[in-house]
Amino acid sequence: MPKLEGKVAIVTGASRGIGQGIALQLAQEGASVAISYTSHPEKAEETVKAIKQGTGVDAIAIQADSGDVQQIEHMMEKVVQHYGKLDLLASNAGIEYFGSLEEVRQEDFDRVFAVNTRGQYFAVKYAVKHMKEGGHIVCSSSVSATKPFMKHALYSASKGAVEVMVKNLSLELGPRGITINAIAPGGVQTDMASSYGKQYLNPNLPISEEEQTRAMVALGHYGKPQDIANLVTFLLSDQASWITGQTFHIDGGTH
């Protein structure tokens, strides 16, 4: 029997990349899945179609900006209206950002924290409103929260805050029988990585990008969305029912 059969999950930011991989894996394990997206509805519908055709479970797409608290609340209500309940949350939506101390503007700061930090906090708040005992939550941090990169202070801070948030919220949610954990992925092969991957490397080193990657990652290569989805699926299952308040690095041994 699939380990998530009969469960209802929502995966934020799931029209592509890591979120899409998580949604597909949860569906393969039997969960009905709602996915959220900010733009590109055609990609969201492609993900929904892939879930339905590939697994036979139900899936829906909901447009919601994770930087807008009211939209987050309405998103959770729509999930419950459609499925009658909510068991699992994979809070994946986030935005990447690189900028030096001099370059970062107040609006940049506010937007990054609105999506990466505030958005995850309120996703948890409004998901928990509908969860019963046995609910599971996974939030998204990053290897950047503990490993410094040039011009990455703003993004890293937004993700580091998530790890502290998860640890503290575990004390509130534990008595309700709800677990909450975080994942901290390293470099993963997605379209976002294609856009920003080079900025994690040092352009002054006299070695190629491939050689830098091999030197920085113990396993010598970036991960795939499936690698992240496997861990998230475990943390959202009852197999992880005695794990809470933790952040799990899944980064190929990035150092």
Q: What would the mean pLDDT of 211-233 be, rounded to a whole number?
A: 89
Q: Per the residue annotation, which of 158, 159, 222, 237 is the catalytic one? A: 159
pLDDT for position 61: 98
User: 138 with 181: CB under 8 angstroms?
Assistant: yes
Q: What is the pLDDT of residues 181-208, one digit of tens each?
A: 999 999 998 766 555 667 776 666 677 7
Q: Is the pTM of this model over 0.85?
A: yes
Q: Rounded to an integer, what distance in angstroms lies between the CA atom of residue 185 and that of residue 179?
A: 20
Q: Residue 83 catalytic?
A: no
pLDDT for position 210: 72
pLDDT for position 137: 99
Q: Residue 224 catalytic?
A: no
User: 86 with 58: CB under 8 angstroms?
Assistant: no
Q: Rounded to an integer, what distance in angstroms lies between the CA atom of residue 155 and that of residue 192?
A: 14
Listed in sequence order, the residues at least 6 apart from 67 whose beta carbon sits closer than 8 Å to its beta carbon are 111, 114, 115, 118, 119
Q: Per the residue annotation, which of 15, 142, 170, 237 is the catalytic one? A: 142
Q: Residue 237 catalytic?
A: no
pLDDT for position 153: 97
Confidence of residue 13 (pLDDT cuts 50, 70, 90): very high
Q: Residue 142 catalytic?
A: yes
Q: φ and ψ at 83, to 5 degrees?
A: -105, -15
- Give per-residue burial for 125-138: e unless 16+ CB within 10 Å, then b: ebbbebbeeebbbb
* Residues paired with residue 247 on neighbouring β-strands, in sequence order: 182
Confidence of residue 212 (pLDDT cuts 50, 70, 90): confident
Q: What is the pLDDT of residues 101-121, one digit of tens each?
A: 999 999 999 999 999 999 999
Following CA atoms 81, 82, 83, 86 in sequence, which dihedral angle do they give, to the nearest 10 degrees? Answer: -50
pLDDT for position 195: 59
Q: Per the residue annotation, which of 83, 121, 155, 200 is the catalytic one? A: 155
Q: What is the pLDDT of residues 134-187, one digit of tens each?
A: 999 999 999 999 999 999 999 999 999 999 999 999 999 999 999 999 999 999
Q: Residue 158, Cα to own-chain centre: how many angstroms?
A: 13
Q: Per the residue annotation, which of 15, 36, 91, 141 is the catalytic one? A: 141
pLDDT for position 238: 97
Q: Rounded to an integer, what distance in angstroms lies between the CA atom of residue 89 and that of residue 34?
A: 10
Which amino acid belongs to residue 140?
A: S
Which residue bears the tokens 């807008």?
68
Q: Which alpha helices (H) appear in 197-238, and where do they start and end?
A: 209-216, 225-235
Q: What is the pLDDT of residues 59-98, one digit of tens each?
A: 999 999 999 999 999 999 999 999 999 999 999 999 999 9
Q: What is the pLDDT of residues 17-73, one digit of tens each?
A: 999 999 999 999 999 999 999 998 999 999 999 999 999 999 999 999 999 999 999
Question: Which domains are assigned to the chain?
Answer: 8-190+225-245 (3.40.50.720)
pLDDT for position 202: 65
